Amino acid sequence: MKQRSIECFVGLFVILGALCFAYLSIRFARLEVGGGKDYALQAAFADLGGLRVGASVEVAGVPVGRVVSLDLNGTYAGEVVLSIKEGVKLPADTTAAVKTKGLIGEKFIGLSPGNATTMLAGGDRIGSTESGSMELPFGTVEVAGGKTYQVKAAFTQLGGLRVGASVEVAGVPVGRVREIELSKLYNAEVIMDINEGVKLSADTFASIRTKGLIGGKYILLEPGGDEEMLADGDEIEDTEPAVDIETIVSRLVQGSVK
């Protein structure tokens, strides 16, 4: 009898676990726009902050569409295409902002309609945008399709950066960290795979950032104005190491931060 009770308890536990997993899968799955025809709008953001394809597009908290594509445009900004429900009419002066659900939730685009009498039509561009800045990823980023080239950069502090971490420009993933080695000068030398179609100026600036408050590390690339482009095997000279949060907190506690 006792053995049977244990088996029933284990079975119940497994079922509850499966239900929780199913709920989370649905909760974090890509949001689809249901029913009817949709129309597409475009918007450019200086930083996507972790926005992903399939993310919700909302007005006053109500889902009205989804993100269908992300790309990097010629000015190194994140180019986003939104699919909007046909019945949702948006004024021409609508503002689009990358937002976060809760403190560490997923990213979505919030639309704030203006007062213009002219409405946006399929293929139009939202001119007023606000960028995001934080993301909480739980996995590595793959370089999608096509060939890649390699560039390297040296940092005095990695702060937890790992192989497979995302390499981004304006919040758009353009590559990943391929290798991490210790240089002869005792610096961390990072080798990155960059999508072949992404051209980076020779004066590109590379910094190690944190995605969200407790998220993983990634490399942010900020292209400069140099006409010469980085080629396979080149090194990014201008870098910024990761911020050592533990050291800062320790100094704050000890009262040594000025």
Q: In whole numbers, what is the pLDDT of the chain averaged over residues? A: 81
Written as one string, the DSSP assignment of 112-129 is E--S-SSBP-TT-EE-EE
Q: Which helix (H) or strand (E) holds 189?
A: strand 188-195
Q: Provide the pairing of β-strand 56-59 with 107-112.
A: parallel
pLDDT in tens, 92-114: 999 999 988 766 678 899 999 99
pLDDT in tens, 131-182: 765 443 333 344 444 589 999 999 998 888 888 889 999 888 899 999 999 8
Q: Which pLDDT score, from 0 to 100, does residue 76 have?
A: 84
Within the chain, what is the greatest distance between any pair of CA atoms? 79
Examine the pLDDT at 30 and tell me if it is beyond 70.
no
Q: Which residue has the tokens 């006792």?
A: 2
| Strand, coil or helix: 12 | helix
Decide: 224 and 203 in contact? Cβ < 8 Å.
yes
| Strand, coil or helix: 37 | coil
pLDDT > 90: percent of the chain:
44
Examine the pLDDT at 81 and tell me if it is beyond 80.
yes
Q: Which pLDDT score, from 0 to 100, does residue 161 have?
A: 87
Q: Which of 208, 28, 22 is nearest to 106 (CA)?
A: 28
The pTM for the full model equals 0.57
Decide: 218 and 134 in contact? Cβ < 8 Å.
no
Tell me how far apart the alpha carbons of residues 103 and 114 are, in angstroms, rounded to a whole number.
Answer: 27
